[in-house]
């Protein structure tokens, strides 16, 4: 089991905008291979009074010298320790793709530790934990070229600018492979359903966001669950943020 030293907890949180009179906090969890910078636009587009905090696991951005973790649970434990150390504020969790799994597991870790839970989970672009769809085989152990090809085919998950820069791609590959290994090895463990409202979000063209893919979330949640779909595929967030921000703002 990978573990996170308590002294590193402050490194997990990237706070974009610290409101003097913050009303709520939105904690954002990264997609596989992503970092906190992906959520900087949220801090500009959400209403004043919303403090946006991005979770930055080891291996990326300012933590690039640290070895990446290969366990969703280990990442959740580090994130939960950092969130619990923040000044108290009503909080909401948003996670996209791998980040949806990480947000969900972080809420479970907080509950086990007796810490306040978020007011709502926004789970974006991710099917429920469980067996992968038929024909979807693990890719984290593939060669670099085969792994990149599958990431592009399945998720359109590597920007064209990164694909064109071989040095940058080589730098980011270990993080992406570690994150995908964490996703592939994550298994739901029997626990009481989380007593939270949940908003499932995704692109209409994303196979991760069909009714069947999302159905597995329902037994894991004791609160009300709603589903919102937006134009686009797996990375619908990059295509048109306005309706997504409006949906978030209405629920914060």
Distance CA 176, CA 192 (A): 31
User: Shortest CA distance to 194 belongs to which of 96, 117, 128, 93?
Assistant: 117
| Whether the Cβ atoms of residue 127 and residue 201 lie closer than 8 Å to each other | no
Cβ partners under 8 Å of residue 183, min gap 6: 32, 72, 98, 101
Tokens found for residue 214: 């999302």
Residues 6+ apart with CB under 8 A from 193: 219, 220, 221, 222
162 burial (CB, 10 Å; 0-12 / 13-18 / 19+) is middle
Catalytically annotated residue among 10, 71, 91, 97: 97
Q: Would you call 10 a catalytic residue per the annotation?
A: no
Catalytic residues: 97
């Amino acid at each position: 089991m990978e573990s996170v030293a308590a002294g590193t907890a402050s490194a997990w949180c990237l706070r974009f905008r610290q409101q003097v009179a913050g009303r709520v906090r939105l904690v954002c969890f990264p997609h596989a291979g992503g970092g906190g910078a992906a959520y900087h636009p949220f801090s500009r587009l959400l209403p004043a009074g919303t403090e946006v905090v991005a979770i930055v696991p080891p291996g990326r951005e300012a933590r690039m010298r640290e070895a990446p973790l290969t366990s969703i649970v280990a990442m959740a434990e580090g994130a939960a320790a950092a969130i619990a150390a923040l000044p108290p504020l009503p909080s909401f969790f948003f996670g996209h793709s791998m980040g949806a799994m990480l947000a969900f597991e972080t809420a479970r870790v907080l509950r086990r530790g007796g810490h306040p839970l978020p007011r709502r989970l926004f789970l974006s672009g991710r099917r429920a934990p469980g067996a992968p769809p038929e024909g979807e085989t693990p890719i984290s152990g593939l060669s670099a070229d085969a792994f990149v090809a599958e990431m592009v085919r399945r998720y359109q998950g590597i920007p064209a600018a990164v694909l064109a820069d071989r040095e940058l791609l080589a730098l980011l590959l270990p993080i992406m492979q570690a994150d995908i290994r964490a996703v592939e090895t994550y298994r739901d463990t029997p626990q009481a359903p989380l007593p939270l409202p949940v908003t499932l979000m995704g692109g209409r063209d994303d196979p991760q966001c069909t009714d069947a893919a999302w159905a597995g979330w329902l037994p894991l949640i004791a609160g009300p669950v709603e589903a919102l779909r937006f134009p686009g595929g797996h990375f619908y967030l990059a295509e048109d943020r306005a309706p997504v921000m409006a949906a978030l703002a209405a629920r914060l």
